Amino acid sequence: MIDRRNFSKTFMATLGSVAISNPLFSKELLYDFKKSNPKKLGIALVGLGNYSKNQLAPALEKTEFCELKGIVTGTPSKAKTWQAKYNLSEKNIYNYENFDSIASNPDIDIVYIVLPNSMHKEYTIRAAKAGKHVICEKPMAMNSIEAEEMISEVAKAGKKLFIGYRLHYEPHNIEAMRIGQNQVFGKVKILNCSFGFRIGDPTQWRLKYSLAGGGALMDVGIYAIQAARYSTGEMPFAITAQEYKTDKVKFSEVDETIFWQMEFPSGAVASCITTYASYIERLYLSSERGFVDLSPAYSYGSIGGQVRRKPLDFTQVNQQQLHMDGISYSLQTGTKAKNIYGDEGLKDMNIIDAIYKAVATGEKVII
């Protein structure tokens, strides 16, 4: 059983290449690292919406290995506000038209795509062609075909592609990975992973198929897919799925609620829900001799739960900070980051494609 006292030790071991607790880095490691890598990597955020404004930019004020150096926005008023607030150099402010000239800007090492889903592919490829590493938000793309193209183009450019999978740096989720993948309580048998919330504004891009590519499944169902995958360390081979719609006007273009089931090669079975109708947030991992139950499981700032009826209450971390620092550290040291590369995003897109196919056909889909 892991409690707060043992938190640092476990977290240090599980963070992998960034083998440090939160505060992330031991004084010694920070000192050594900064001596040999005095420059923080420069990040440019593309798309200054809610996630950039409320999570990523504040996290970039705390990061040790990277910093906010540039922005790409289609809204001139935001450019002004951000430039003043974050003391950004005029030459590091871009719009969607002149974005490609970022190629000649040595201040920017990583471009972080935080746009509506339909724009992920285009901006990821343009950033890589401009010679930058890319972090692309989830869902990686509109479908697996786009995801494959992104991986291939970024590789051709000799750059690295990461997905915004912040939970790989979150201690409760890391503990679920450890218990499941190492079969700490025996084989994983049953998973129950769900994420949903009640969506507001009916005019937002998340409800438009051309911009979102799908509804709740693309937006938050992907966390349940990830959770089942990182709790087992496996890829499912078979999917069944059912869709439910209570508001056919608001959800005329995208899914409101989907239930789906995934069968894994080891025999584990996952039952999952995603919805835009009401709040649900859970990772339940049941093994032969014990269980992990996280709820809330995927948001920022309040993750908790239990392991075999004992509380799991690791310190809350700034997931965005750890995610971007983990990536930057790996780029600067040439070490591997956590399992958050483009190929992981592609696996999730393959599953999403299969879920939509299972909904449309009513048949079991073999991946």
Of 3, 13, 74, 202, which lies in the binding site for ligand NDP, with binding defined by CB under 6 A?
Answer: 74
| Total residues in contact with ligand NDP, by rule CB under 6 A | 21
Query: H/E element holding 72?
Result: strand 66-72
One residue of 75, 89, 246, 335 binding ligand NDP per CB under 6 A: 75
Name the residue whose CB lies closest to ligand NDP. Answer: 49
CB 36, min distance to ligand NDP, A:
31
Residue 210 is a binding residue for ligand NDP (CB under 6 A): no
* Active-site position among 40, 69, 138, 347: 138
| Residues 263-282 as x/- pattern, contact with ligand NDP by CB under 6 A | --------------------
Instruction: Report which of 316, 58, 2, 298 is spatially closest to residue 166, judged by C-alpha positions.
Output: 298
CA 195/CA 297 separation, integer angstroms? 9
- Site string (107-146) toward ligand NDP, x via CB under 6 A: -------xxxx-------------------xx--------
Longest dimension (CA), the chain: 59
Q: Among this protein's residues, is 86 annotated catalytic? A: no
Report how far residue 226's alpha carbon sits from residue 217's, in angstroms, rounded to the nearest whole number: 12
Q: How far apart are CA 352 and CA 246, in angstroms?
A: 21
Q: How does DSSP assign 224-267, residue by residue?
A: HHHHHHHHHT---SEEEEEEE-S-TTTTSSS-SEEEEEEE-TTS
Interacting residue with ligand NDP among 121, 126, 133, 166 (CB under 6 A): 166
User: H-type helices in 137-284, by residue range?
Assistant: 144-156, 171-181, 209-212, 216, 222-232
Single out the residue of 22, 73, 92, 173 in contact with ligand NDP (rule: CB under 6 A).
73
Site mask for ligand NDP (CB under 6 A), range 50-69, x = bound: xxx-----------------
Task: Identify whether 123 is a catalytic site residue.
Answer: no
Interacting positions 215-274 with ligand NDP (CB under 6 A): 219
Describe the strand order of the beta sheet including 310-312 as a list of residue ranges.
Answer: 310-312, 305-307, 290-294, 280-287, 188-196, 269-275, 257-263, 238-244, 365-366
| Parallel/antiparallel/unpaired status of strands 238-244 and 257-263 | antiparallel
Residue whose CB is less far from ligand NDP, 194 or 286? 194
Write out the catalytic residue numbers: 138, 223
Q: Which residues of the shown chain bind ligand NDP in the complex (CB under 6 A)?
A: 47-52, 73-75, 78, 114-117, 137-138, 164, 166, 205, 211, 219
